[in-house]
């Protein structure tokens, strides 16, 4: 946190205090200083070690570059930064708080690229999402995600405010890279999305949201070529990135327009549909799609070559595809995070979803997941750039920390080594966001954004689930306390 942020946050606290009754003002202002940053009381309760100097000793270190784990290492953190990494015993400090890392491993905090701050309102008709800015950030942090990009939103202003609340130390959460509200065309599944047909409107929309603080845009399933082209052109002029969950525009068309990123992977490539016409989302039944989603299919090979050549990054979102079809997700623990009403609805839904009458469909969905995994592996082997996300959009099936850990487990099932999966979910995400000088790997001079966990995830990837502490800027948060602080409050 920079001095400027600190001053701004003090200013906004003062402004807020003018509006509140005296008793609340007292609580709002009882903030103490930790490691140079300022945290509200409710956040400070989640902090185990505040530094300013911490030595994690006798620990294994996975640095995020893909290099093998360093055994019996020590890590010195000071004033929010990593100031030393070396064999245990070689780093000394008389003033540091010492954490015994025996049996534990340190990883860089995850940098996840398709996250949301929403939950599907289970009873709203027509379908609607509610914003969940209070419970979601601590859950991401508990997972070990210290940087996330939101993957589109229904409420851009609230997402921007949530980022400010985190920076002000009022809620615990990761760094947020904000994607503006969806860029959609007519036919949206949700009335909460703006439907644009005029390229000039898209340009104005992009200018407005960049000025407001968004750094990326996400086009949605019914966007037209003309609107998407205008949005990409305007965003690039302003230094912002564009991603898409596309259908009306094919992957190849989007690549030729210069899109930076595509969400979900082959599963959403309308290029494969036989009846694809311009600006129309083709109807493809699941069976046909799964048949075509074959890395041996020349059309898929061709698409991979195009995406690599045009330097289009693909976001893997295996957790949302695997939810309910794979033992890693959702876990009972994920349901327990929901409000009683949402939990009840979600559990009934998942029981029905996985019931015997769905067996045939579930077999098809599992094959689809398997083929998406094969595509992602082949894409990376061909030189493609893959980043990782979880897409927690509701129904209780995809919620951090479970969804975050499932992402790593599923990547390993897709054929990546644990070290490769960890590197994709850390350094590679940081590179895509252009923040690799600051975060994404364990290196002297980088911010101390780290995960301390029990076990050896480079050998047993499921150990990523055993997070004990998550460090953000050298301040250690208790993962369980983060979860407890919002348990039972996700959803309405």
CB of 119 to Zn ion, least distance (A): 12
CB of 335 to Zn ion, least distance (A): 20
Q: Is 391 in the site for Zn ion (CB under 5 A)?
A: yes
CB of 42 to Zn ion, least distance (A): 29
Q: Is 268 in the site for Zn ion (CB under 5 A)?
A: no
Q: Which is nearer to Zn ion, 120 or 461 (CB)?
A: 120
Candidates 181-189, 228-236, 387-395, 437-445 — which segment interacts with Zn ion by CB under 5 A?
387-395
Q: Which is nearer to Zn ion, 224 or 393 (CB)?
A: 393
Q: Which is nearer to Zn ion, 113 or 373 (CB)?
A: 113
CB of 279 to Zn ion, least distance (A): 22
d(C-alpha 357, C-alpha 21), whole Å: 57
Could you tell me the CA-to-CA distances from 176 to 113, 166, 218, 243, 433 in Å, in that order? 10, 9, 15, 16, 11
Candidates 191-199, 297-305, 383-391, 394-402 — which segment interacts with Zn ion by CB under 5 A?
383-391
CB of 393 to Zn ion, least distance (A): 5
Q: Is 394 in the site for Zn ion (CB under 5 A)?
A: no
Candidates 92-100, 126-134, 150-158, 224-232 — which segment interacts with Zn ion by CB under 5 A?
150-158
Q: Which is nearer to Zn ion, 51 or 151 (CB)?
A: 151
Candidates 7-15, 247-255, 388-396, 451-459 — which segment interacts with Zn ion by CB under 5 A?
388-396
Query: Could you tell me if 488 and 132 are in contact, meaning their C-beta atoms sit under 8 angstroms apart?
Result: no
CB of 226 to Zn ion, least distance (A): 24
Q: Is 384 in the site for Zn ion (CB under 5 A)?
A: no
Candidates 5-13, 149-157, 184-192, 483-491 — which segment interacts with Zn ion by CB under 5 A?
149-157
Q: Which is nearer to Zn ion, 63 or 391 (CB)?
A: 391
Candidates 57-65, 145-153, 156-164, 353-361 — which segment interacts with Zn ion by CB under 5 A?
145-153
Q: Is 151 in the site for Zn ion (CB under 5 A)?
A: yes
CB of 218 to Zn ion, least distance (A): 8
Candidates 47-55, 88-96, 146-154, 247-255 — which segment interacts with Zn ion by CB under 5 A?
146-154
Q: Which is nearer to Zn ion, 386 or 442 (CB)?
A: 386
Q: Which is nearer to Zn ion, 393 or 449 (CB)?
A: 393
Q: Which is nearer to Zn ion, 113 or 450 (CB)?
A: 113
Q: Which is nearer to Zn ion, 42 or 127 (CB)?
A: 127
Residues in the interface with Zn ion (CB under 5 A) total: 2
SS (H, E, C) the chain: CCHHHHHHHHHHHHHHHCCCCHHHHHHHHCEEEECCEEEEHHHHCCEEECCCEEEEEEEEECCCCCCCCEEEEEEEEECCEEEEEEECCCCCCCCCEEEECCCEEEEECEEEEEECCEEECCCCCCCCEEECCCCHHHHHHHHCEEEEEECCECCHHHHHHHHHHHHCCCCCCCEEECECECEECCCCCCCCCCECCCHHHHHHHHHHHHHHCCCEEEECCCCCHHHHHHHHHHHHHCCCEEEECCCCCCHHHHHHHCCCEEECCHHHCHHHCCCCCCCCCCCCCHHHHHHHCCCCCHHHHHHHHHHHHCCCEEEECHHHHHCCCECCECCHHHHCCECHHHHHHHHHHHHHHCCHHHHHHHHHHHHHHHHHHHHHHHHHHCCCCEEECCCCCCCCCCCCCHHHHHHHHHHHHCCCCHHHHHHHHHHHHHHHHCCCCCCCCCCCCCECCEEEEECCCCCCHHHHHCEEEEEECCEEEEHHHHHHCCCCCECC
Q: Give residues in contact with Zn ion (CB under 5 A).
A: 151, 391
């Amino acid at each position: 946190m920079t001095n400027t942020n600190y001053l701004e946050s003090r200013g906004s606290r003062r402004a807020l205090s003018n509006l509140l009754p005296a008793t609340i003002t007292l609580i709002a202002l009882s903030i103490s200083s930790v490691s140079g940053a300022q945290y509200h009381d409710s956040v400070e309760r989640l902090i185990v070690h505040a530094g300013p100097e911490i030595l994690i000793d006798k620990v294994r270190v996975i640095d995020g570059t893909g290099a093998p784990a360093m055994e019996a290492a020590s890590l010195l953190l000071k004033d929010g930064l990593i100031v030393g990494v070396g064999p245990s015993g070689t780093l000394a400090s008389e003033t540091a708080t010492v954490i015994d890392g025996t049996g534990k491993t340190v990883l860089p905090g995850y940098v996840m690229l398709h996250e949301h701050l929403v939950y599907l309102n289970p009873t709203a008709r027509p379908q609607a999402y509610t914003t969940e800015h209070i419970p979601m950030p601590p859950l991401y942090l508990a997972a070990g995600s210290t940087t996330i990009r939101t993957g589109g939103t229904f409420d851009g202003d609230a997402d921007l405010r949530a980022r400010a609340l985190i920076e002000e130390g009022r809620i615990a959460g990761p760094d947020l890279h904000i994607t503006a509200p969806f860029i959609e065309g007519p036919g949206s599944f949700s009335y909460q999305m703006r439907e644009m047909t005029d390229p000039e409107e898209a340009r104005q929309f992009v200018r407005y949201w960049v000025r407001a603080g968004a750094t990326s845009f996400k086009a949605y399933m019914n966007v037209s070529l003309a609107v998407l082209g205008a949005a990409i052109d305007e965003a690039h002029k302003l230094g912002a990135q564009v991603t898409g969950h596309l259908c009306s525009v094919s992957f190849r068309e989007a690549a030729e327009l210069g899109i930076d990123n595509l969400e979900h992977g082959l599963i959403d490539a309308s290029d494969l549909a036989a009846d694809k016409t311009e600006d129309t989302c083709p109807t493809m039944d699941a069976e046909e799609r799964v048949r075509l989603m074959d890395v041996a299919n020349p059309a898929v090979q061709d698409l991979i070559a195009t995406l690599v050549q045009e330097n289009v990054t693909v976001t893997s979102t295996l957790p949302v595809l695997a939810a309910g079809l794979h033992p890693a997700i959702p876990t009972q623990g994920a349901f327990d995070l929901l409000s009683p009403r949402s939990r009840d609805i979600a559990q009934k839904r998942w029981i029905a979803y996985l019931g015997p009458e769905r067996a045939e469909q579930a077999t098809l969905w599992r094959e689809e997941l398997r083929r998406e995994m094969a595509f992602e592996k082949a894409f990376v082997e061909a030189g493609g750039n893959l980043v990782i996300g979880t897409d927690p959009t509701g129904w209780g099936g995809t919620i951090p920390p479970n969804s975050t850990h499932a992402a790593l487990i599923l990547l390993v099932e897709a054929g990546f080594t644990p070290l490769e999966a960890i590197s994709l979910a850390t350094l590679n995400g940081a590179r895509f966001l252009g923040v690799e000088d600051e975060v994404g790997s364990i290196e002297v001079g980088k911010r101390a954004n780290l995960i301390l966990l029990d076990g050896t995830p480079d050998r047993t990837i499921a150990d990523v689930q055993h997070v004990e502490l998550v460090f953000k800027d050298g301040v250690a948060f208790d993962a369980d306390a983060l979860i407890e602080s919002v348990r039972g409050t996700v959803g309405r």
